[in-house]
Copies of this chain bind each other. A is one copy, B any other.
């Protein structure tokens, strides 16, 4: 399993996110992926290596072509951590909710 550092760092780059968005449509070879970018092929190759290293994509070899597609491992790695953060934010929100309720006792209560 990839580590949190690697996955978040992968996602922090706009070129890599654009590559993932491209692969969200479907599988593509390295040159297919490189085409829309104003960047050299080696640069894209490096980005793909980073994405592969963080489990966000996988490649297979099909003759001379190496089609890439999205992989679940990268996202799976960060989901639990994001869940923790979401839970903490919700908890804090509930606490604020309590404070507001205490300040204005009738707000939010059933008006019947």
Seen from chain A, the residues whose Cβ lies within 8 Å of a Cβ on chain B are: 4-5, 8-9, 11-14, 17, 20-21, 23-25, 69-70, 72, 75, 78, 81-82, 84-89, 92-93
**This protein's copies in its complex:** 2
Main secondary structure of the interface of A (DSSP, over half): helix
Nearest Cβ on chain B to A90's Cβ, whole angstroms: 9
| A69 contacts B92, C-beta separation under 8 Å | yes
Choose among B4, B24, B84 the residue that contacts A84 (Cβ–Cβ < 8 A). B24
Across the interface, name the chain B residue whose C-beta is closest to A21.
B84
A24-B82 contact given A12-B8, A14-B4, CB 8 Å threshold: no
Across the interface, name the chain B residue whose C-beta is closest to A7.
B12
**Complex: A14 Cα to B81 Cα, angstroms:** 12
Known contacts A23-B88, A75-B86, then 5 further A-B pairs from the complex at CB < 8 Å, ordered by chain A residue: A12-B12, A21-B84, A24-B84, A24-B85, A82-B82
Set of chain B residues within 8 Å of A92, measured between Cβ atoms: 69-70
**Complex A-B, nearest 4 residue pairs according to Cβ-Cβ distance, in ascending order:** A24-B88, A8-B12, A9-B12, A8-B11
